Amino acid sequence: MRTRLLDAAIGSLVDNGYAGTSTQEISRRAGVSRGAQLHHFPTKESLVVAAVEHLVEQRLAELLDAHVDDDSAGVELFLDAFSGPLFYAALELWIAARTDQVLHAAVLPLEARVNEAIRAGGAAIFGDRMSPEAIEISVELARGLAVSALFRNNTTDREMRERLIPIWEAMVTDK
């Protein structure tokens, strides 16, 4: 039931945005009663933050499994970390947390854990090929590229990546 609620929360964030996501909608999507939802997650904030955290853990495990022994992994890996439902759900939380102090307080520890997990994952994957500072700047650059990609089409995004990724990679790796 908990997993259904978390998946339903992500789906609602992606489809409806934070403002359009309600605990009633999440319960409906998950096929559970409102009481059951409240038993697991007493507030909307606790539910959506737990959902994003759940998805972050899944996504990080996927990335690590796919690349931890891959000496050819490149900075595109960071772009992969900021894509798909996880990125869109997290983006909804970031934007809403800017003006919602309760959500902001709930998101701060999540963001700290996410950033640490991405740094640790980057260190595990890149080893000596990338310094901790290079990983940190790569995370920030990937996040920024992911946000700006919302305003590009597939062709212009691909062209930008083809042009910038080799430069970025040369600057941050010991390849």
CB-based contact 37:30 (threshold 8 Å):
yes
Q: Which of 99, 143, 155 is nearest to 118 (CA)?
A: 143
What is the reported pTM? 0.79
Residue 136, both tokens: 């940190």
| CA 133/CA 69 separation, integer angstroms | 21
Q: Say which range, 15-19, 49-53, 67-71, has the weakest mean pLDDT.
A: 67-71
Task: List pLDDT tens digits, range 111-170.
Answer: 888 888 888 888 888 888 899 999 999 989 999 999 999 999 999 999 999 999 999 999
